[in-house]
Amino acid sequence: MEEGSIALGEALIIGQTVRGRSVFAPRDFGAGSFIIEFGGERFGRDEYISLVDPDNNHFLQIDRNLFLGPTETADNFINHSCDPNCGLRVEAGRAYLFAIRPIAGGDEITFDYSTSMDEDFWEMRCRCGSAACRGRVGDFKHLPVETRDRYMALGAVPEFILSGLGNKPAVAGMIIETRAGAGFSSATGEARAALQAS
Ligand SMILES: [Zn+2]
C-alpha cells in the first residue's frame, strides 16, 4: 500500500469559508488515497425530490433511483469544484471520495458534483472560482466530452452514470482501501450548502 493511501476513520477538518462550511485535509494525501465515505439515510428519487431544498441540496445520488440524505459530519460539507482534487467512487452501494491528485494538508477537499448526477432535476449555479469553472453544475451527461473523458479515465464516474451514457464502466485504476465496519464519518455533500440553484 502506498504511503498516505489509507485514512480509515480519520477526521477531516470542517472549517468556514466565504462559501460556508467547507472541508479540509488534515495532512497530505497521495493521489488515489481514500478520503471519506459518504453516509446518510437512503431515499428513492421521488422522496429526494419531495425532501430536497434546491437552494441547499445535501443529497448525493448513488444510483439511478437512490440518494443519500444529509448528515452532520464532514461528508455533508464537501464543496463542489469544477477543478476538484477528489473523485467519487460507488461500490456495492457505498460511496467514497478518493484523491485524484496529491492533496496537501490544509487544502480544501472538493469533488465535481456532476460526477454524482444523472437525475434530470437539480442544477446549481457554480461559484467555485476555478479557472475551469463551468458556471453551472448539472447532470454528468451535460458535461463537455473532454471533461467526461477525463473523469472516466480517473475512474471517478459511478457505473449508473456510465450505463446511462451507454458506456461500459471504466476500469478502476486505483484501489481504495475500505474496511467493513470502520467508523468513517460519512455524509453527503452539504457542501452543497454554499450552493445555489437559480
Ligand atoms: Zn465551478
**What pLDDT is stored for residue 193 in this prediction?**
34
Using CA atoms, how far apart are residues 150 and 139, in angstroms rounded to an integer? 16
Distance 181 CA to ligand 1 centre (A): 34
Q: Quickly list DSSP for the chain.
A: --TT---TTPPPEEEEETTEEEEE-SS-B-TT-EEEEE---EE-HHHHHHH--TTS---EEEETTEEE---SSGGGGPEE-SS-SEEEEEETTEEEEEESS-B-TTPBPEE-GGGG---SS--EE-----TT--SEE--GGGS-HHHHHHHHHTT-S-HHHHHHHTPPPPPPSSPPP--TT--------GGGGG-B--
Distance 83 CA to ligand 1 centre (A): 7
Q: State the distance from the centre of ligand 1 to the C-alpha of 84, rounded, in angstroms.
A: 9
SS in 3 state form for 101-125? Answer: CCECCCCECEECHHHHCCCCCCCEE
Q: What's the CA-to-centroid distance between 183 and ligand 1, angstroms?
A: 31
Neighbours of ion ligand 1 (CB under 5 A): 82, 126, 128, 133
Distance (Å) from CA 134 to ligand 1 centroid:
5
Query: What's the CATH fold of domain 13-193?
Result: Beta-clip-like (2.170.270)
pLDDT per residue as tens digits for the range 26-39: 999 999 999 999 99
CA–centroid distance, residue 82 to ligand 1 (Å): 4
Residues 6 or more apart whose Cβ sits within 8 Å of residue 120: 139
% of the chain surpassing 70 pLDDT? 79
pLDDT in tens, 87-123: 999 999 999 999 999 999 999 999 999 999 999 999 9
pLDDT tens, position by position, 163-185: 988 755 444 444 444 443 333 33
CA of 166 from ligand 1 middle (Å) equals 26
Q: Give the Å distance between the CA of 143 and the centre of ligand 1.
A: 12
**Ligand 1 centre and the CA of 80: distance in Å?**
7
**pLDDT band at residue 2 under the 50/70/90 scheme:** very low
The larger pLDDT score, comparing residue 108 to residue 186, is at 108
CA of 103 to the centre of ligand 1 (A): 19
More confident residue, 85 or 194: 85
Question: What's the rounded Cα separation, in Å, for the pair 91 and 98?
Answer: 13
The rounded Å distance from CA 180 to ligand 1 centre is 34
Give the integer Cα–Cα distance in Å for 110 and 82: 9
| Residue 71 clears pLDDT 60, i.e. is over it | yes
- How many CA atoms within 13 Å lie on the side-chain side of 56? 7
Distance 42 CA to ligand 1 centre (A): 27
pLDDT at 32 (0 to 100)? 96
